[in-house]
Amino acid sequence: MGMGTSTFVIRWVNLLTMLLAVAVIIFGVWMSTHNDGCRRSLTFPVLALGGFIFLISIIGFLGACKRSVALLWIYLAVLLIVLIAILVFTVLAFIITNNGSGHSNPGLRYKEYKLNDYSSWFLKELNNTNNWKRLKSCLVKSEQCRKLSKKYKTIKQLKSAELTPIEAGCCRPPSECGYPAVNASYYDLSFHSISSNKDCKLYKNLRTIKCYNCDSCKAGVAQYMKTEWRLVAIFNVVLFVVLSMVYFVGCCARRNAASNQSKA
């Protein structure tokens, strides 16, 4: 690849990533002013990501414009570290999310989830008291459970609904408990359950309690995280391919710049 072509591609690619970084930083600033504490907890990672993308883009852009071998070396070194990090994270993400799936129940369209079906990493993170306290606070604030009675007016509608893993695990007791449903968000707890599942005793109809302390709720969160991580992992595969191509073009630009310097 010629010097002109490689530096042209590097300049424009990094100009676009600089604009992307600015957008990410603006989004992070917006999150920091948002009233939702759960969103605010993600502010620092988002701002750090935006700042890092902006920094590496500046180095690559200046290196291509000035045809600086030193800047292009730094750019390629950092980009190589990013590629390795993406590869490691993606492999780990696929390994961690390999286990766990829903269990079907007769008469219900949605699935229920069991915590022990998931990887040891999920078990460790979700059984950590501090982690779960923060997650539970976010779940209560989201009021997903309160909205169920508005979405599903009858028990028949509830049973035929495709509840999300969090709705199925956190907003209702496990089916094996046998509690009759009065409506989509209220159950008759006077029924004597013979199930040995400890979640049956933990469930309460109170808005702030529900089944948020249940293993079924943690399993629902694990399934949600598994789905999200899989999407991120697939995105990372695409990103890895794109950045590998950029790395190749950067190597050509660095080699051509070094060749021109030696001739000069």
How confident is the model over 46-50, as a mean pLDDT? 79
Contact 223, 102 (CB under 8 A): yes
178: left (phi over 0), alpha (psi -120 to 50) or beta: left
Please list, in sequence order, all residues whose beta carbon lies within 8 angstroms of the beta carbon of residue 166, skipping any fewer than 6 positions away: 139, 144, 217, 220, 221, 224
- What pLDDT is attached to residue 244? 87
How confident is the model over 102-130, as a mean pLDDT? 92
- What pLDDT is attached to residue 11? 82
Cα–Cα distance for residue pair 191/188, rounded to 1 Å = 6
CA 122 vs CA 127, 175, 190, 193, 217: distances in Å:
8, 23, 34, 29, 13
- Percent of the chain that is helix, strand, coil (3-state, to 5): 70, 5, 25
- What pLDDT is attached to residue 53? 84
Residue 34: band (very low, low, confident or very high) from pLDDT cuts 50, 70, 90: low
- What pLDDT is attached to residue 235? 86
* Mean pLDDT for all residues in the chain: 86
Question: Which range, of 103-107, 180-184, 245-249, averages the lowest pLDDT?
Answer: 245-249
Question: Comparing C-alpha atoms, which of 23, 165, 20 is closest to residue 102?
Answer: 165
- What pLDDT is attached to residue 47? 82
How confident is the model over 180-205, as a mean pLDDT? 94
Question: Which range, of 67-81, 88-102, 245-259, averages the lowest pLDDT?
Answer: 245-259
Sequential DSSP letters for 15-32: HHHHHHHHHHHHHHHHHH
Residue 35: band (very low, low, confident or very high) from pLDDT cuts 50, 70, 90: low
Cα–Cα distance for residue pair 49/247, rounded to 1 Å = 19
23 or 187: whose pLDDT is higher? 187
Is pLDDT above 90 for 212? yes
Is pLDDT above 70 for 155? yes
